[in-house]
A and B are shown apart, each in its own frame.
Chain A
Amino acid sequence: MATPADIPVRKRYDFKRPPELDGQSVRHPFVVVGGGPIGLSMALDLAKKGHKVVVLNKMDILADGSKALCFSKRSLDIWDRIGVGEPMTNLGVQWNVGKVFWQDREDPIFQFDLLPVKNQKNPAFINLQQFHAEDFLIQAVEANDLIDLRWNNEVTAIETIENGRRLSVDTPEGTYALDADWVIACDGNRSPLRTMLGLDFEGRVFEDNFLIADVRFKLERPSERWFWFDPPFPGASALMHKQPDGVWRLDFQLGWDIDKAEAMKPENVEPFVKGFLGGDIDFEYEWVSVYTFQCRRMDQFVHDRVIFAGDSAHLVSPFGARGANGGLADIDNLGWKLDLIARGKADQSLLETYEYEAGVTADENILNSTRATDFLTPKNAGAETLRDAVLKLATQFEWARPYVNSGRLSAPVHYPNSTLSIGDADAFDGGVAPGSPCLDAPTDKGWLLSMLGDAFKLLRFVGEGESPAPIGTLSEVVIEISGDNQLAAERYGAKPGSAYLVRPDQYVMARWHDMSTAKLDSALSKVFSSKEIAA
């Protein structure tokens, strides 16, 4: 399909005639449908593990405009793992602190630090326009020989074939059939694949409208997230974020009963921006849009050989930056499982753990997003009275501050109850529990997360000067507890002899103080088919 005329274009890409149109059909291991940040990251993760991937993008552009902006530390860690993190972090506006203001009080009534554990490689968040993130991802994909990114290729039908799916793909030069072992549906919140398969997408629509103005102006303010309840300028609430390129994002709550087209007219946007800035600051619009939002999810993400990830599978309100970050969590969780299954090292049933873990993640994101939205937009006089009471109490009492909810920002989700999280047999004093993502720490060999990479690893802590023999066949990261490594040992509650079994997505699977090959094999048997463990 041609790109719709109402989508602003930042870059255009060339359609290349796919070999299937000339009768050269091969079976593909992986086809990713959708070329947004989630689909592109999925392709890079699979390619990093040595797999060929076809990515189908129904459009032939990089879209301009205001979309996702805040990328979390966890997302940056994932992008680091697949080799695209650093340009993002370098261009992005890095921030850790959020401040909440109420009415015309100059001082915040509440502030929070989203990176309470310091000395980690990445900041709590970066603000980076989605088009910049996509641009970096496209460059990495196009430089990767294993990935075939096909512009202007639209999936119009899907049918079941033996151990796979056949897609009908429309292009400007005709339609072709594409056979794949696995189809990963990263085709966005209106997911055509979800529709073609007749699958549900249940949830709740929130009755409020928000005006986003991405505006250029000169203002000296720190790189922090600032939020106002009942601000002294127009809007029921407002949010301010600094972006790269001298652009600021202003987000104003408009109320439910409004005319969206009217609200976007320059003469109606201007009072908000001028009210925010004060009368005499010059500004220039980048983008203006009005949005409403919904929280929805599919009942199941795995449909045999078709797996949903990102907005196609779940949708949240933007307060909390849980949309794109939630989608990246999906592909991080899925990539290594598909890799092991495709290489015959794990059974297809391993995908049940994606269903469970990505489901827990989606539910937590929807819950937090719903709570924030309910606090921001009280549904009745009683809810508004309670909300205002919380804000008033928070100006005076620290105990009232946790009740202030301007958005609970995206944080990695823990799944202690996953079948892949093995409960502690040995008592740990703190550290990182099974089902939680590894904490970063500086070590004498660099950042810990960079050393863990993206294969199963045994993270071992040993006494000073010790260099023990490997425990099993897994690759090991050995940290000598001394000098520069004390902080890492502390963060993992480690003593000489402690060991963590780390998944390829850098989540902890199991940990021990008293380690043995038998315990390690028993843990790995949760993932690998028995013949692999024996080998």
Chain B
Amino acid sequence: MTTQLNTTIRDTDTADQIFSHLVRLHEGLDADQSASVNAELLILLANHIGQPAVISQAVDLLISSRA
């Protein structure tokens, strides 16, 4: 099982499909509700990944990218 964060560069069709599903989650919601479902989706996908090491790398990547 992989323990490395996967940063594969996807083709645009794959990216467009993923993005349109993410947007679908927000239909009819206000900003507060959107923030809340974003967190819920994040926890759901983190649970799907199920590897603390990968989550840790993802978090570190975003922390280190802060200006």
CA gap between A370 and B36 in the complex, in Å: 27
Given contacts A382-B31, A397-B7, contact A403 B15 (CB under 8 A): yes
Taking residues whose C-beta sits less than 8 angstroms from the other chain, chain A's interface range is: 20 to 34
Nearest chain A residue, comparing its CB with the CB of B14? A402
Q: Check A390–B31 contact: CB distance below 8 A.
A: no
Q: Mark A390-418, 1 if CB is under 8 A from B, else 0.
A: 10000011110111010010000000000
Q: Mark B1-26, 1 if CB is under 8 A from A, else 0.
A: 00000011111101110111011011
A483 CB to closest chain B CB, in angstroms? 34
Q: Mark A248-273, 1 if CB is under 8 A from B, else 0.
A: 00000000000000000000000000
Q: Check B20–A386 contact: CB distance below 8 A.
A: no
CA gap between A382 and B32 in the complex, in Å: 9
Given contacts A399-B9, A402-B11, contact A382 B16 (CB under 8 A): no
- Counting residue pairs across A and B whose Cβ atoms lie within 8 Å, the total is 66
In the assembled complex, A371 has its CB within 8 A of some CB on chain B: yes
Q: Check A382–B29 contact: CB distance below 8 A.
A: yes
Tell which of A378, A382, A399, A402 touches B12, judged by Cβ atoms closer than 8 Å: A402
In the assembled complex, A276 has its CB within 8 A of some CB on chain B: no
B6 CB to closest chain A CB, in angstroms? 9
In the assembled complex, B27 has its CB within 8 A of some CB on chain A: yes
Q: Check A401–B9 contact: CB distance below 8 A.
A: yes
Given contacts A402-B9, A402-B15, contact A374 B20 (CB under 8 A): yes
Q: A residues 300-331 with Cβ under 8 Å of B?
A: none
Nearest chain A residue, comparing its CB with the CB of B15? A402
Q: Check B19–A405 contact: CB distance below 8 A.
A: yes
A399 CB to closest chain B CB, in angstroms? 4
Tell which of A368, A386, A396, A402 touches B23, judged by Cβ atoms closer than 8 Å: A386
Given contacts A402-B15, A403-B15, A408-B16, contact A383 B9 (CB under 8 A): no
Tell me the dominant secondary structure on chain B's binding face: helix
Given contacts A381-B31, A381-B34, contact A408 B12 (CB under 8 A): yes
In the bound complex, residues from chain B placing their C-beta under 8 Å from that of A399 are 7-10
In the assembled complex, B65 has its CB within 8 A of some CB on chain A: yes
Q: Apart from A375-B19, A382-B25, A399-B9, what are 10 other A-B pairs with CB-CB below 8 Å?
A: A371-B16, A371-B19, A380-B28, A380-B34, A381-B26, A390-B19, A402-B9, A402-B11, A402-B12, A402-B14
The chain B residues found within 8 Å of chain A, CB to CB, are: 7-12, 14-16, 18-20, 22-23, 25-31, 33-35, 37-38, 65
User: What are 16 A-B contacts with C-beta separation under 8 Å?
Assistant: A368-B16, A375-B19, A378-B23, A379-B23, A380-B28, A381-B29, A381-B30, A381-B34, A382-B23, A382-B26, A382-B29, A383-B26, A386-B22, A396-B65, A399-B8, A403-B18
